[in-house]
Structure 1
Amino acid sequence: MPAKSKAQQKAAGAALAAKRGDAPESALKGASKSMEQSMSERQLEDLAATPRKGKPEHADDRKS
C-alpha cells in the first residue's frame, strides 16, 4: 500500500526506525506513534518506501 502523502511517508519512516530500534519510541508523536503500535514492520516498509515525488504534503481527508 503506497503512502498517499509526504507526511504519511515520513511518519511511516519514523515508526519503522522505532520498531527496528534505531530511534527511541519516546520520540514518536501522533500518527507515527500509532503506526508503530498497530502496523507490522513489513507494512511500515511498504509505506516508507513510497517515492515522495509528486505526492502532496498532506492528503485531502475530505470525502465528496
Structure 2
Amino acid sequence: MPAKSKSQQKAAGAALAAKRGDIKKSELKGASKSMVESMTEKELEEMASAKRKGKPEHASKS
C-alpha cells in the first residue's frame, strides 16, 4: 500500500527508522508514532519507498 501523500510518506519513513533502531521511538510525533506500533517493517518500507513526484503534500479527506 503506497503512500497517498508526501506527509504520509515522511511519517512512514520516520516510523521505519524507529523500527530499525536508527532513531528513538520517543522522538516520533503524530502519525509516525502510531505507525511504528501498528505496521510491520515491510509495510512501512513499502509506504516510504513510493515515488513522491505527483503526490499532494497532504491527502484529501474524501
For Structure 1 versus Structure 2, the TM-score category normalised by the shorter chain is over 0.9
Gaps of 5+ in 2: none
Counterpart in 1 of 2:20? Answer: 20
Q: Deviation of residue 11 (structure 1)?
A: 0.2
Gaps of 5+ in 1: none
Counterpart in 1 of 2:29? Answer: 29
Structure 1 stretches of 4+ moved >3 Å: none
- Name the SS of the counterpart of 1:60 in structure 2: coil
Identity %: 71
Structure 1 length-normalised TM: 0.94
Q: CA RMSD in A?
A: 0.5
Counterpart in 2 of 1:43? Answer: 43
Q: Deviation of residue 29 (structure 1)?
A: 0.6
Q: Deviation of residue 28 (structure 1)?
A: 0.3
Q: Deviation of residue 57 (structure 1)?
A: 0.2
Counterpart in 2 of 1:57? Answer: 57
Number of corresponding residues: 62
Distance in 2 of aligned mates of 1:50 and 1:8: 11
